[in-house]
Amino acid sequence: MSANAEERAGIEVEGLVREFKNGPRAVDGIDLRVAPGEIYGFLGPNGAGKSTTVLMLTTLLPPTSGTARVAGFDIVREGGRVRGAIGAALQEAALDPLLTGREHMRLQTALHGLPKAERTERSAELLARVGLSEAANRRVGEYSGGMKRRLDLALALAHRPSILFLDEPTTGLDIQSRSALWDEVAGLAKEGVTVFLTTQYLEEADALADRVGIIDHGKIVAEGTPAELKAEIGRPTVEAVPRDPGDQERVAQALRPFGEQCGATHRGGASVLLEGGESQLADVVRALDAEGIAIEQLQLHAPSLDDVFLAKTGRSLEGAGEDEGEAGSEEMEAVQA
């Protein structure tokens, strides 16, 4: 494949599966396509299979079955060429606390084979780009979480990859750091870099991604642009949280006549898709009042990606991973395997 063709190629995945010993399928036959220059948001709770997918696509974990081509190269037969075309910032910024930011950049550029004269220039350019020029000679152990993530991103870009994998790049960051990283990722996409971004933050996928794939229990349950996915839901959701958590079932009963139930919410309430739209809100209040249920919170939600997740899986994305600790642990073991 020529360099131009490589630049034009994105990611193509067919029937990708990864099984672990004595465990469920972490990734269970996913298909997806990411066009060149696109930001693809891969959304799902902890343990859904996001990181395992990234490890396979970055050649760090062989798939059990299925095929995938990244930048036009087969991830199993052409692993070396895939690695040459991609950059990756995996879960948790994997940095050496004893090295400085500049030393990290020099090591990374050298290992990628950049000529000596170019290494210093490229390192300085990337450190400036992520706002770490002043901190470049400080040891990474002294960096904040946001600085580490930005250095991680700079390292992933050292060899000018055409495809960038970012595995939960903003997890644990404050809003300012998250926003700065979003700007940087958006800027990269404008330059033509294909971005495969895993996240468990709805607003991140909504703000950044051209298209979103929602993964749950190793399967893609929905895919499309954020607008398309939300349009599928169409109707607003009303969520009622009782003052007494023991009233959750009574709330669900009271809401039942108003539309399709979305199940229990992570706040201990119940929610329903309003068949008749926002105008039914007053009727909902009256129904709850008639049942004599004291309400702590009543919220009307415009359709969101969380509603899409709820509609497709019967659970809310926020906190969905909490009851999946086992699956989450297996995914972490996969990362470390």
Partner 1 sequence: MNKSALSIQVGQLARRSVRRTLRQPAQIVPALIFPLFLLAVNSGGLKSATNLPGFPTDSYLTFALAVPFMQGALFSVMNAGTDLARDIETGFLNRLALTPLRGAALLSGLLAGAFVLGLIQAGTYLIVGLVAGAELVTGFPGALAIIALSVSITVAFGTLGLFVALRTGSGEAVQSLFPVFFVFLFISSMALPLDLLETDWFHALASANPVSYLLGAFRSLLIEGWDLGALALGFGIAATILALGMFAASAALKTRLVRT
Which of 1, 99, 136, 295: binder of partner 1 (CB under 8 A)? 99
Taking the C-alpha atoms of residue 298 and residue 277, their distance in angstroms, rounded to an integer, is 15
What is the SS3 assignment for the chain? CCHHHHHHCCEEEEEEEEECCCCCEEEEEEEEEECCCCEEEEECCCCCCHHHHHHHHCCCCCCCEEEEEECCEECCCCHHHHHHHEEEECCCCCCCCCCEHHHHHHHHHHHCCCCHHHHHHHHHHHHHHCCCCCCCCCEHHHCCHHHHHHHHHHHHCCCCCCEEEEECCCCCCCHHHHHHHHHHHHHHHHCCCEEEEEECCHHHHHHHCCEEEEEECCEEEEEECHHHHHHHHCCCEEEEEECCHHHHHHHHHHHHHHEEEEEECCCCCEEEEECCHHHHHHHHHHHHHHCCCCEEEEEEECCCHHHHHHHHHCCCCCCHHHHHHHHHHHHHHHHHC
The alpha carbon dihedral of 115, 118, 119, 120 has a sign of: positive
Which of 27, 39, 61, 189: binder of partner 1 (CB under 8 A)? 61
Residue 145 in the binding site for partner 1 (CB under 8 A): no
Residue 13 in the binding site for partner 1 (CB under 8 A): no
Which of 53, 58, 199, 304: binder of partner 1 (CB under 8 A)? 58
Residue 94 in the binding site for partner 1 (CB under 8 A): yes
Among the residue ranges 79-87, 188-196, 220-228, 304-312, the one whose residues contact partner 1 (CB under 8 A)? 79-87
Shortest Å distance, C-beta 337 to partner 1: 7
Which of 103, 210, 232, 318: binder of partner 1 (CB under 8 A)? 103
Of residues 252 through 311, those in contact with partner 1 by CB under 8 A are none
Nearer of residues 2 and 336 to partner 1, judged by Cβ = 336
Which of 84, 131, 145, 328: binder of partner 1 (CB under 8 A)? 84
Residue 76 in the binding site for partner 1 (CB under 8 A): yes
Among the residue ranges 14-22, 93-101, 188-196, 320-328, the one whose residues contact partner 1 (CB under 8 A)? 93-101
CA distances from 304 to 168, 299, 307, 311, 316 (A): 20, 13, 5, 11, 11
Which of 52, 91, 194, 200: binder of partner 1 (CB under 8 A)? 91
Residue 60 in the binding site for partner 1 (CB under 8 A): yes
Shortest Å distance, C-beta 211 to partner 1: 25
Which of 207, 295, 298, 335: binder of partner 1 (CB under 8 A)? 335
Taking the C-alpha atoms of residue 84 and residue 87, their distance in angstroms, rounded to an integer, is 8
Among the residue ranges 106-114, 208-216, 261-269, 317-325, the one whose residues contact partner 1 (CB under 8 A)? 106-114
Among the residue ranges 59-67, 197-205, 221-229, 235-243, the one whose residues contact partner 1 (CB under 8 A)? 59-67
Residue 107 in the binding site for partner 1 (CB under 8 A): yes
Which of 46, 108, 162, 248: binder of partner 1 (CB under 8 A)? 108
Which of 80, 117, 279, 290: binder of partner 1 (CB under 8 A)? 80
Shortest Å distance, C-beta 103 to partner 1: 7
Asked whether the beta carbons of 42 and 60 are under 8 A apart, the reply is no
Which of 16, 75, 126, 317: binder of partner 1 (CB under 8 A)? 75
- Chain residues binding partner 1 by CB under 8 A are 58-62, 75-77, 79-80, 82-84, 86-88, 90-92, 94-96, 98-99, 103, 106-108, 110-113, 139, 155, 335-337
